[in-house]
Amino acid sequence: AFFWLVSLLLSSLIWFIAVKASDPRDQPLQKGLLIFGVMFSVLLQEAFRFLYYKLLRKAIEGLVALSEDGCSPISIEQMAYVAGVGFGLMSGAFSMINLLADALGPGTVGIHGDSQLYFLTSAFMTMVLIFLHTFWGILFFHGCEHRRWWEITAVVVMHLAVSGSTFCNPLYVGSLVPSYLLMAAAAAWAYLLSGGSAQNLRRFLLCK
């Protein structure tokens, strides 16, 4: 969570400087800066995810050196899951804080003809990002651990695609549907990389 907060702080600082140094009356430029800020924030988040992996790898090596049996008490797969959850929860928390700040009244959603589903779709978008960060953490760490750089690239591309799809709003179908499809694909991929199988899933669903 701390690493995600640091990445957000740095990306916010860069975007703030860019906005202050530009003409606020130039709407196309301001929109371009917003797109740049979002894409830069995504890349910075993934860079900090990699730095966090390197830090955890050093920590595991230290734990192995100190342990009596030469084994780490926690696996890199468990750390990947926890790291993904931490990234996701902080991302979701800040999304909801921004949403609640916009909701300070008085007012009525959609009074000027806009969609009345703004808060509902924002909640669904926050939920999918929390799950995606969890799955991305597993995929990203697996790619780093096994030197599969295409897995890391896939995570970055998916993150950019989901963040970029939000620019389709207020056409919420254009952001929610692709995001949930990517979440399903990332979930299945992370499940398989974690050692899951169709047989295990069947046993789980049948409570065996």
Q: What is the pLDDT of residues 24-60, one digit of tens each?
A: 788 888 888 888 888 999 999 999 999 999 998 888 7
Q: Give domain status of residue 207, yes or no.
A: no
Segment (H or E) for 157: helix 149-165
Q: Give domain status of residue 204, yes or no.
A: no
153-198 pLDDT tens trace: 999 999 999 999 988 877 788 889 999 999 999 999 999 988 888 8
Q: Give domain status of residue 205, yes or no.
A: no
Side chain identity, residue 200: N
Please give the Cα distance from 207 to 111 (Å, whole number). Answer: 49
Q: Encoding tokens for residue 28?
A: 């196309």
Please give the Cα distance from 89 to 134 (Å, whole number). Answer: 9
Q: Give domain status of residue 107, yes or no.
A: yes
Q: Give domain status of residue 200, yes or no.
A: no
The total of structural domains in the chain comes to: 1
Q: Give domain status of residue 206, yes or no.
A: no
Please give the Cα distance from 80 to 185 (Å, whole number). Answer: 18
Exposure string over 176-186, b if 16+ CB within 10 A, otherwise e: beebbebbeeb
Q: Which domain holds residue 40?
A: 1-195
Q: Give domain status of residue 203, yes or no.
A: no
Q: Give domain status of residue 113, yes or no.
A: yes
